[in-house]
Amino acid sequence: MYDVAVVGAGINGCSAAYEFVQEGKNVIVFDKEGIASGGSGAAGAFISPKFSKAGELKEIIEEAFVYSMEYYETNFKHFFTKAQLLHIAKDEAEGESLRVFKAKTTLKLKKPNEELLESLTQSAKEQEYVSLDAGVVNAKEICQKMIAGAKFVSLDVQELVWEDGYWLINESYAARELILATGAYKTIIKEPYIGLRGVWGHRIDVKSKLKNPYSIHQFVSIAPSSDGIIAIGATHNVHYHPQTAKEPYDVKAGREELLEKAARTVKLDAVEVVADYTGLRSGSHDYMPLLGSLVLSKETLECCEKSIRVKKPDFGEFLYYPHLYMINGSGGYGFVLAPYLAKMLKEQILRGKEISPRLSPARFFARWVKKS
């Protein structure tokens, strides 16, 4: 019997597990493939804000960025590398967004030094940019460290049953609280309103003559050199999904695309690809993460459909699965958002602290009712 069960061992699931382990709870984590085996393991794991003019997503990612920088430095400093970040505009439209960002941000900006600028191509030097202190984490190792205090079970979770105040998992395990962190793969709970989309990620580790101490972002993300290796990655294919694709992903073509895009930004010489990492990352259809309780759609429709259709929905009137929660939909900002979201989820479950409606999965339920 466990206090908390987490389904999914990517950065969202591992961050949630870590929060409850720190509270002294008995935690079990399930994943059929292994720890950080999907999109999280393929991520460059950059800790960066969102460089845009304004909006809710920019605000929450900026809050999460500030929180996560301190979080990783305090709790996982051996898996966290501070590095100056240089974000370069892809085009004039993004350049305008960066100019607005720089004029309004409260983050402390830095001037890139000559060494950094000399590593750039001429076209990259001509674009607008933002530079500040940021970081990179070691994706797989940090996920493993996060759940070191929990029990990990390699298991394909297919059946969840609420019975006598506990969730029964594949008829073999039981837990009081259940957290779903399954990414963009098929959901275990069959609800029609959950708005998730898959974004295929690909990262390559390369050897190169380039000695890069910086985190550089333009068409792709380029990590600082570590033991002679530079990671180059992107959430770069919104059409490929491993569960629906008729053909396997073309790793060679993806690799060539990453190298071509990286070469637009930095001067790459004598490149040798030493490893490929691929996986599906999850985003939502409104780009905001999903955090909190899941609505029982059938039961809520029976009691509240008319009021949902004719007035602004009151999420407090909806009916929810007992002790069942979701943390998902972080897109390419998983390692920035996950610690911040996991802390909020812990506060809801243990202390009843309300999660903002802008993050609640209930927002998708209300939209689904109005459209259907």
Digit-by-digit pLDDT tens for the chain (372 residues) are 999 999 999 999 999 999 999 999 999 999 999 999 888 888 888 999 999 988 999 999 999 999 999 999 999 999 999 999 999 999 999 999 999 999 999 999 998 877 778 889 999 999 999 999 999 999 999 999 999 999 999 999 999 999 999 999 999 999 999 999 998 877 788 899 987 888 888 999 999 888 888 899 999 999 988 888 899 988 656 677 777 788 888 899 999 999 999 999 998 877 899 999 998 888 898 999 999 999 999 999 998 888 888 888 889 999 999 999 999 999 889 999 999 999 999 999 999 999 999 999 999 999 999 887
Query: How would you classify the pairing of strands 196-207 and 272-284?
Result: antiparallel
Alpha-carbon span 154 to 29, nearest angstrom? 8
Q: Please, what is the angle between helix 334-351 and helix 11-22, to 10°?
A: 40
Note the pTM of the prediction, 2 decimals: 0.94
Going from N- to C-terminal start, the domains of the chain cover 2-38+142-196+286-371, 82-135+200-284
Q: Under a CB-based contact definition with an 8 Å cutoff, are residues 196 and 284 in contact?
A: yes
State CA 151 to chain mean position distance.
23
DSSP 304-368: HHHHHHHS---GGGS-EEEEEEEEE-BGGGHHHHHHHHHHHHHHHHHH-PPPPTTT-THHHHHHH
Tokens at residue 60, please? 């929450």
Contacting residues for 110 by C-beta, under 8 A, at least 6 apart: 84, 131, 132, 133
Which fold does the domain 82-135+200-284 belong to in CATH? D-Amino Acid Oxidase; Chain A, domain 2 (3.30.9)
pLDDT of residue 320: 97
State CA 76 to chain mean position distance.
18
pLDDT of residue 247: 87
pLDDT of residue 236: 59
Alpha-carbon span 69 to 290, nearest angstrom? 22
CATH of segment(s) 2-38+142-196+286-371: 3.50.50.60
Strand partners, 228: none
pLDDT of residue 238: 60
Contacting residues for 195 by C-beta, under 8 A, at least 6 apart: 284, 285, 286, 290, 329, 364, 367
- Burial classification of residue 316, based on how many CB atoms lie within 10 Å of its CB (0-12 exposed, 13-18 middle, 19 or more buried): exposed
Strand partners, 175: 2, 167
Alpha-carbon span 302 to 316, nearest angstrom? 15
Alpha-carbon span 370 to 330, nearest angstrom? 25
Alpha-carbon span 177 to 6, nearest angstrom? 9
Which residue bears the tokens 């059938």?
Answer: 298
Q: Under a CB-based contact definition with an 8 Å cutoff, are residues 68 and 335 in contact?
A: yes
146 to each of 46, 137, 152, how far by Cα in Å?
Answer: 17, 12, 11
Query: How would you classify the pairing of strands 2-7 and 173-180?
Result: parallel
Strand partners, 201: 235, 279
Strand partners, 87: 130, 217
As a 3-state breakdown, the chain gives helix, strand, coil percent values, each rounded to 5, of 35, 30, 35
Alpha-carbon span 336 to 291, nearest angstrom? 15
pLDDT of residue 172: 96
Collapsed DSSP state (helix, strand, coil) of residue 85: strand
pLDDT of residue 235: 66
- If we measure between CA atoms, which residue out of 231, 225, 228, 232 comes closest to residue 258? 232
pLDDT tens per residue across span 94-136: 999 999 999 999 999 998 877 778 889 999 999 999 999 999 9
Strand partners, 67: none
Length of the chain measured in residues: 372
